[in-house]
Structure 1
Amino acid sequence: MLPAHQAEQIILDRVQPLDPQQDRDLVPLAAANGRILAAQVSGQLDIPHWDNSAMDGYAVRYEDVADCSPEQPVTLDIIEEIPAGAVPQKTVQSGQAARILTGSMLPAGADTIVIQEDTQRQGDRVSILAAPKPQAFVRHQGEFYRAGTPLLPAGILLTAPDMAVLATAQCLQVPVYRRPRVAILSTGNELVPPDQPLQPGQIVDSNQYALTALVTSAGAEPIPLGIVPDDPAATKQAIVQAISRADIILSSGGVSVGDYDYVDRILAELGAEIHIRAVAVKPGKPLTFATFPPAPPSPPRPLLYFGLPGNPASALVTFWRFVQPALRKLSGLATGWDPTVIQGRATQELRSDGKRESYLWGRVQIVNGEFEFHLAGGSHSSGNLVNLAQTNALAIVPIGQTRILIGEPLQIMLIHLMQ
């Protein structure tokens, strides 16, 4: 069995990201959120586009108001009002000011904004009661960004702030990586779909739905291929079909040491190189990772195969720990492939047999500025998926450690956003 960190490195070393040219989509700006940028973006406009005011007040010449005070105010003539979106029509001369609102263009001749709280207006004249700093509250053209320089780098996941930047730069068509295609199949004679009445000895195939949801959440395109019976010919046919359609294949079940576990043998028959057969984690020991060599006309990138355990908790844990980092790298994300691990404290005693790196699911919350992990109630059997509902984190008990006491520090792997 390989330690988790070593297995992860073997996997990531064999993941080749999508090609920024061959695997690129050009999508409308409105459809770019949550996609990964495939090329560096530059804007054709300075940001701000012109000198403008950061506050409501009066645009003035600094030399006119440099020495004013409440005891010796300076009174200026108001020559125009400049609402947001309007173009100034006049030049501010000595002894003059222009009424200006936040975001409005700075008129010619003015170089400083006096906020309205430091003024007193009487008709068409305004008294300046406090001396501002030079160029106070002026946002200069190009202060935030210069046209033609890099704006956003390739390989980032586009989120709301990035969308705002792209909109400001009037980038209407955005180059993004296509979504990786992930084929998903479940193996086992005992499995039935949720819409079929359950007979004695049968099990509902929950993995197909859980893995499809995880793949979708990871920004990839799931290709659910259904249930494959415990039959070598049927298993081989399903894998061959998946090879022709996907960048990654996920199967659950059939990778342990049972009499009907055929997957590893079939992978070898189809020319795959098997790199991992078991990992020292609990749950999730029977993990197979293999690669198929690229075959023309497919891209020069190996196809990845993950044979996940069949038990529901094991399937989910091995996805979070090993498949998700591979998906992130494959998708074109430049950094941040590894799981997000934070430091926190246990609120209950956590136990393990110490033989494998153990993952215990529960919820993490911030209490008094610290992350606290609350273990999910009930059995932590790999076959129990019920108490996985609404969990958002996995507490990690390292190899060689059999318990973590209440209040002791521990590593926590985030699997969902905290709520």
Structure 2
Amino acid sequence: MPNLPNLPENSRDLPNLRDQPLRRPISVAEHRARVAALVERTPVVRLPLTDCLGLVLAEDLVSPISLPPFDNSAMDGYAVRAADLAGADQDNPVELPVAEDIPAGRTDLVPLEAGTAHRIMTGAPLPPGADAVIQVELTDGGTERVRLFRAVAQNSNVRRAASDVAAGDRVLVAGTALGAAQLGLAAAIGRTELPVRRRPRVLVLSTGSELVEPGQPLLPGQIYESNGTMLAAAVRAAGGEAELLRFVPDEVAAFHAALEPRLAHVDLVLTSGGVSAGAYEVVKDALADRGVTFTKVAVQPGGPQGAGRYQGVPVITLPGNPVSSLVSFELFVRPALLAALGHERVDRPRVRATLSQGITSPAGRTQYRRGVYDPASGRVVTPVGGPGSHLLSAMALANCLIEVPEEVTELAEGDEVAVLVLAD
């Protein structure tokens, strides 16, 4: 251990510096693995289709019916026997009597006799005896007799039963993310609910005696609380349920009093602030000897981090500067929440792009600069703002993170970089 500098005996940091060894910062990958190991997959529940958007199917989905369940018309027109229209054209139309009307939803089907037509609507069942549908635009639209101006082949404009799905088919596999199309398919085969992994319940806790609710007047030394709103929104965007607990003061007793009654009802506690090396770091003071490990990650922004369990509940502690907090969420928390939901793909899309201007980065730390990525301009990325962890306005303008490896200290205009695309 290297010699420590001489410090005043009244320094509040002196006990920490003398009693704790100086550890090297851990890598982004190491801390990500620690966080991932903490957050377990959520239980499987059965939910109505309307509540399943964005969740993950927990079991294979097998169809009990065929789709379509019956032969039906793909057009508004006339159900016919193709042989009856042989030779028909604009100058020599075939004229047939219209024996029946078949709207969508009709269930009492009358067989089509040779030499007749049934007027039929899109989606209506094809009558027995018919082998084609001619669209209404190729006829005169008659209701008692119809003139047909073109010949058609067998199976024209007919959707055959089971041409999409056969009864007994596995239509979705476990692990499928449920979007609009997947939920539409589930409804089409008659399902009203699905087995999914429930949303992780996350307590988002913001500490700091300097924090004030937006809308209230600010006194000198006070700031509006923003991390809670930001992180709760990020949790919801990742598929979780967020409970926001604001304005926990910088007192250990108050911190425990606010946290402990809520532990039984959450899957994860997510804090921001109070994790650095200075005085009044309430999160660190309250949790350091109670199952949560605090460390330095070789990353900019977001070096101070913590992860562990408090009374059996996973806790992830993020730094308090707003950009550090949100970038840390992207790197460490979002992938863990997606994995807990059962998603197989938990990472943001990663692309290669060229820099529109040069940037610098500190040695020994992986830097994540905010940027605007425009694939239409030849895959160019433009840094937004500087590296400062307080530049929230730049974060709000960014649609990506520019990743600079820890061994790289300078990049020039035109250099290629890895970009994490943030847009969902």
Give the alignment's TM-score, normalised by structure 2: 0.82
Do 1:228 and 1:234's aligned partners in 2 also have CA atoms closer than 8 Å? yes
Cα distance in 1 for residues equivalent to 2:324 and 2:283: 17
Cα distance in 1 for residues equivalent to 2:87 and 2:417: 60
Equivalent position amino acid for 1:286 in 2: P
| Superposition deviation, residue 381 in structure 1 | 0.9
Unaligned runs of 5+ in 2: 1-24
Equivalent position amino acid for 1:375 in 2: P
SS at structure 1 position matched to 2:221? coil
Structure 1 residue 162 and structure 2 residue 186: aligned?
no
| Deviation larger for 117-126 or 172-181 | 117-126
The residue number in structure 2 matching 1:297 is none
| Superposition deviation, residue 311 in structure 1 | 0.8
Cα distance in 1 for residues equivalent to 2:369 and 2:37: 27
Structure 1 residue 12 and structure 2 residue 75: aligned?
no
Match of 1:3 among 27, 42, 59: 27
Structure 1 residue 246 and structure 2 residue 250: aligned?
no
Do 2:93 and 2:147's aligned partners in 1 also have CA atoms closer than 8 Å? no
Cα distance in 1 for residues equivalent to 2:135 and 2:289: 77
CA gap of 1:131–1:411, structure 2 versus 1, over 3 A, is same
| Deviation larger for 116-125 or 358-367 | 116-125
The residue number in structure 1 matching 2:4 is none
The alignment covers a number of residue pairs equal to: 399
Matches within 5 A, 1:22-101: 24-27=45-48, 29-65=49-85, 76-87=96-107, 89-101=109-121
Do 1:154 and 1:334's aligned partners in 2 also have CA atoms closer than 8 Å? no
Do 1:255 and 1:307's aligned partners in 2 also have CA atoms closer than 8 Å? yes
| Superposition deviation, residue 77 in structure 1 | 4.6
* C-alpha RMSD of matched pairs (Å): 3.1
Match of 2:419 among 402, 412, 416: 412
CA gap of 1:31–1:121, structure 2 versus 1, over 3 A, is closer
Structure 1 residue 113 and structure 2 residue 128: aligned?
no
Cα distance in 1 for residues equivalent to 2:380 and 2:151: 50
Do 2:292 and 2:315's aligned partners in 1 also have CA atoms closer than 8 Å? no
Greater C-alpha Rg: 2
The residue number in structure 1 matching 2:222 is 202
Do 1:80 and 1:99's aligned partners in 2 also have CA atoms closer than 8 Å? yes
Cα distance in 1 for residues equivalent to 2:152 and 2:414: 56
Structure 1 residue 399 and structure 2 residue 406: aligned?
yes
Structure 1 residue 360 and structure 2 residue 384: aligned?
no
The residue number in structure 2 matching 1:279 is 297
Equivalent position amino acid for 1:336 in 2: R
| Superposition deviation, residue 310 in structure 1 | 1.0
Do 1:118 and 1:130's aligned partners in 2 also have CA atoms closer than 8 Å? no
Do 1:346 and 1:405's aligned partners in 2 also have CA atoms closer than 8 Å? yes
| Superposition deviation, residue 344 in structure 1 | 3.3
Cα distance in 2 for residues equivalent to 1:220 and 1:30: 16
Match of 2:396 among 373, 389, 401: 389
Match of 1:182 among 185, 196, 202: 202
| Superposition deviation, residue 317 in structure 1 | 0.5
Cα distance in 2 for residues equivalent to 1:263 and 1:208: 15
CA gap of 1:64–1:403, structure 2 versus 1, over 3 A, is farther
Cα distance in 2 for residues equivalent to 1:51 and 1:407: 59
Equivalent position amino acid for 2:298 in 1: A
Do 2:252 and 2:285's aligned partners in 1 also have CA atoms closer than 8 Å? no
Encode CA deviations 1:204-246: one digit per residue, 9 max, x unaligned.
3221221122122223222222233333333344443443332
CA gap of 1:6–1:95, structure 2 versus 1, over 3 A, is farther
SS at structure 1 position matched to 2:265? coil
Cα distance in 1 for residues equivalent to 2:414 and 2:138: 54
| Superposition deviation, residue 109 in structure 1 | 0.9
Cα distance in 1 for residues equivalent to 2:123 and 2:355: 50
Unaligned runs of 5+ in 1: 295-302
Cα distance in 2 for residues equivalent to 1:288 and 1:380: 22
Equivalent position amino acid for 2:392 in 1: L
Cα distance in 1 for residues equivalent to 2:160 and 2:220: 74
SS at structure 1 position matched to 2:419? strand
The residue number in structure 2 matching 1:193 is 213
Cα distance in 1 for residues equivalent to 2:363 and 2:155: 65
Do 2:61 and 2:172's aligned partners in 1 also have CA atoms closer than 8 Å? yes
Equivalent position amino acid for 2:402 in 1: A
| Superposition deviation, residue 325 in structure 1 | 0.8
SS at structure 1 position matched to 2:328? helix
Equivalent position amino acid for 1:225 in 2: L
Cα distance in 1 for residues equivalent to 2:225 and 2:98: 75
The residue number in structure 2 matching 1:290 is 308
The residue number in structure 1 matching 2:329 is 319
Do 2:39 and 2:268's aligned partners in 1 also have CA atoms closer than 8 Å? no
SS at structure 1 position matched to 2:229? helix
CA gap of 1:398–1:103, structure 2 versus 1, over 3 A, is same
CA gap of 1:404–1:101, structure 2 versus 1, over 3 A, is farther
